[in-house]
């Protein structure tokens, strides 16, 4: 979407946290246009099961674009079951080079419980250094809050929820209506 056609669209906040044998992806439910909240209960974290292998994915950006990417990721995972890293790299490669896909505007956080990645349209497959990653309008707020809590006694889900609460308190494009998915490492 070009900004001249849809000015002021703002997405969401998604965080991924790996700690204590669990990986949690949490996302808020807000979709805003300019100063208006269009929807407060969108579901931007999903559990996929391609080939019987559980994968959790969260997305920020255009919903239609994100669903297209999630479908492509499922296809890649069906071709290489249990190999999230390989499927993510193949998706990123297609996303960067394919004439249609390279125009998609979204980002993904994906995990199979073992690996945790951010996949971007620039061809990046990024694994977080500190077991916390975040994307979207309030992503930097959630990332900073999550990183600050990693050395505490809190578990992965509590860190994700608390970081999202902090992001929602700071970022006007983030709310407290969370979807949270957990997967064992």
Has residue 58 been placed in a domain?
Answer: yes
Is the separation of the CB atoms in 117 and 111 below 8 Å? yes
| pTM of the entire predicted model | 0.92
- Supply the residues annotated as catalytic: 12
Has residue 163 been placed in a domain?
Answer: yes
* Residue ranges of the binding site for Na(+): 168, 171, 174
Has residue 6 been placed in a domain?
Answer: no
Mean pLDDT value across residues 138-155: 98
CATH classification at residue 143: 3.60.20.10
| Res 26 pLDDT > 90 | yes
- Here the tokens at position 91 are 């998706």
Has residue 11 been placed in a domain?
Answer: no
Is the separation of the CB atoms in 110 and 84 below 8 Å? yes
Has residue 32 been placed in a domain?
Answer: no
Has residue 53 been placed in a domain?
Answer: yes
Is the separation of the CB atoms in 108 and 71 below 8 Å? no
Count the domains in the chain.
1
Is the separation of the CB atoms in 97 and 150 below 8 Å? no
User: What are the pLDDT digits (tens) for 84-134?
Assistant: 999 999 999 998 888 888 888 889 999 999 999 999 888 899 999 999 999
139-149 helix and 156-170 helix, angle to the nearest 10 degrees: 140
* Residue ranges of the binding site: 168, 171, 174
- The residue segments making up the domain with residue 137 are 19-27+40-184
**Stretch among 13-17, 49-53, 148-152 having the lowest mean pLDDT:** 49-53
Has residue 3 been placed in a domain?
Answer: no
Q: Determine the pLDDT at residue 185.
A: 80
Has residue 114 been placed in a domain?
Answer: yes
């Amino acid at each position: 979407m070009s900004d001249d056609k849809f000015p002021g669209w703002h997405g969401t906040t998604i965080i991924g946290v790996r700690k204590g044998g669990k990986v949690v992806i949490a996302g808020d439910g807000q979709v805003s246009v300019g100063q208006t909240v269009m929807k407060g209960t969108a579901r931007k974290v999903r559990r996929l099961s391609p080939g019987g292998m559980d994968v959790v994915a969260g997305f920020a950006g255009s919903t239609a674009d994100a669903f297209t990417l999630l479908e492509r990721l499922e296809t890649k995972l069906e071709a290489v079951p249990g190999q999230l890293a390989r499927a993510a790299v193949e998706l990123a490669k297609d996303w960067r080079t394919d004439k249609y896909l390279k125009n998609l505007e979204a980002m993904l956080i994906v995990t199979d419980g073992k690996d945790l990645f951010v996949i971007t349209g620039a061809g990046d497959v990024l694994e977080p250094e500190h077991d916390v990653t975040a994307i979207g309008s309030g992503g930097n707020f959630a990332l900073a809050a999550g990183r600050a809590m990693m050395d505490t006694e809190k578990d992965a889900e509590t860190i994700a929820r608390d970081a999202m609460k902090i992001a929602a308190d700071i970022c006007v494009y983030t709310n407290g209506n969370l979807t949270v998915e957990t997967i064992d490492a």
